[in-house]
Amino acid sequence: MARQQGSKVRAPTMADVARLAKVSPQTVSRVLNDYEFIKPHTRDRVLQAIDSLDYRPNMAARTLATSRSRTIGVIATDYLSYGPATALWGVEQAAREAGYGVSIVSLRESNYRTMTEALERLASQSVEGVVMIAPQDATAHAAFVSFDEIPVVTLSSYESGVHKPIMLDSAEGSRIATRHLIDLGHRVIRHVSGPAGFTVSESRVQGWRDAASEARLVATEPLVGDWTAESGYVVGKELARDHRATAVYVANDRMAQGVLLALHEAGRRVPEDFSVVGFDDVPEAAYLIPPLTTIRQDFTALGRRCIEAVLALINGEPPLEPEPLIPNLIVRQSTAPPLQ
């Protein structure tokens, strides 16, 4: 139990354990790997030796011998924002539960080169699979180009014939959000979208258009932001000048926050004069002024699914059919029927 103190004492190996337990190294290995035909007595001796030497198996050696690293690589372009961070959390939890470790590489910039480098890096660490948290089209694209040696699962909504990503049905979320506004009686509903190049930007715009046209409303051009509160604030000012519109559906909560501020500064009250719906349900959404009505995404579940999917691939099982998760509406105080 007591740890080795002080300097460079070589860590105990299986041979040391074997010697102490008076068995062969292979037997120690068997105990460690839950081989069934071990006498309880022998097992106990080995276990006790392991414990008293404080032996810990050397993953590198095991990986070399088995070419299984029990490690999943994660490539993320961003895990500072709530969504990706939470997904990463889910990935890591699920991975650990499955006995896997997680090695992560982040990309400040995502293009073919950086993607390839990241994959090479992970490949040389012999990761058994890779989860790519890739909100951008370019990133998702890059995933296909490169490896077929290592199973790769993408968390995005980019679809391709090659492999299906784990995703949330963004368009459906959009429809739900927009319909909520329509049901409240809004007729002119604008949209603040994410930037071009992000798959979810597209699909959210699409869902908004769909819901609008179903209700025979015209969807004017969306305003484009870049996911940040700042961009929401900027387009929010423009929105505040639009006196035909009575509601806006914003593609994420952070931009919605900026919109809220711009509206406030322009003297337009939410929800009396203007209804606002966001997307994501970040933990802070409930404490904005006013508390934000939004679409909740279960990022953790998304992350967990990624692991299920890579694991299936790793074990050569048929690839998981990834029916997209359906997000749900959380009604708070930023939406109300229009006044007039």
Partner DNA sequence: CTTACTATTGTTTGCGGTAACGAAGGAGTG
Partner DNA sequence: CACTCCTTCGTTACCGCAAACAATAGTAAG
Q: Is 149 in the site for DNA (CB under 7 A)?
A: no
Q: How far apart are CA 144 and CA 162, in angstroms?
A: 8
> Please, which residue, 65 or 162, has the CB nearer to DNA?
65
Nearest to 70 by CA among 134, 26, 129, 10: 129
Taking the C-alpha atoms of residue 143 and residue 118, their distance in angstroms, rounded to an integer, is 11
| Shortest reach from residue 27's CB to DNA, in Å | 3
> What size, in residues, is the chain?
340
- The reply to whether 272 sits near its own copies by the rule CB under 8 A is no
- Position among 16, 29, 57, 163 found at the interface with its own copies (CB under 8 A): 57
Strand pairing partners for 208?
none
Q: Does 82 bind its own copies (CB under 8 A)?
A: yes
Number of Cβ within a 10 Å radius of residue 288: 21
Q: Residue 216 phi/psi, 5° resolution?
A: 60, 40
Nearest CA among 130, 134, 143, 120 for reference residue 167: 134
Cα–Cα dist 319/165, whole Å: 11
Note whether 218 and 187 are within 8 A (CB). no
Kind and range of the H or E element at 193? strand 189-193
Q: Of the ranges 14-22, 129-137, 249-257, 281-289, which one interacts with DNA (CB under 7 A)?
A: 14-22
Least distance to its own copies, CB of residue 122, Å = 9
Quick one: which of 4, 11, 111, 183 contacts DNA (CB under 7 A)? 11
Span of 23-31, 82-90, 180-188, 307-315 interacting with DNA by CB under 7 A? 23-31
Site for its own copies in 281-340 (CB under 8 A): 283-284, 286-289, 291
What distance in Å separates the CA atoms of residue 14 and residue 50, rounded to the nearest whole number?
Answer: 9
Given a contact cutoff of 8 angstroms between Cβ atoms, the answer to whether 48 and 21 are in contact is yes
Q: Which of 167, 241, 238, 240 is nearest to 204 (CA)?
A: 167
Task: Quickly count: other Cβ atoms within 10 Å of residue 58's Cβ.
Answer: 13
Q: Are strands 71-76 and 101-106 parallel, antiparallel or unpaired?
A: parallel
Residue with tokens 């909520």: 180
Q: Which is nearer to DNA, 67 or 340 (CB)?
A: 67
Is the link from the previous residue into 322 a cis peptide, with omega within 30 of 0?
no
The binder of its own copies chosen from 104, 314, 320, 329 (CB under 8 A): 104
Q: Which does 25 bind (CB under 5 to 8 A by kind): its own copies, DNA, none?
A: DNA
64 binds DNA (CB under 7 A): yes
| Interface region with DNA, contact rule CB under 7 A, candidates 22-30, 148-156, 207-215, 216-224 | 22-30
Q: Any contact of residue 42 with DNA (CB under 7 A)?
A: yes
Residue 62 in contact with DNA, rule: CB under 7 A: yes
For position 321 contacting DNA by CB under 7 A, the verdict is no
The neighbour count for residue 57, using CB atoms within 10 Å, is 15
Interface residue with its own copies among 85, 266, 301, 314 (CB under 8 A) is 85
Site for DNA contains 27 (CB under 7 A): yes
The residue within the footprint of DNA, chosen from 3, 6, 8, 37 (CB under 7 A), is: 37
Residues in contact with DNA by CB under 7 A are 10-11, 13-15, 22-30, 32-33, 35-39, 41-43, 55-58, 61-62, 64-67
Binding site for its own copies (CB under 8 A): 3-6, 11, 56-61, 63-64, 69, 71, 79-80, 82, 85-86, 88-89, 92-93, 96, 101-106, 108, 120-121, 123-126, 146-149, 228-230, 232-233, 254, 257-258, 260-261, 264, 283-284, 286-289, 291
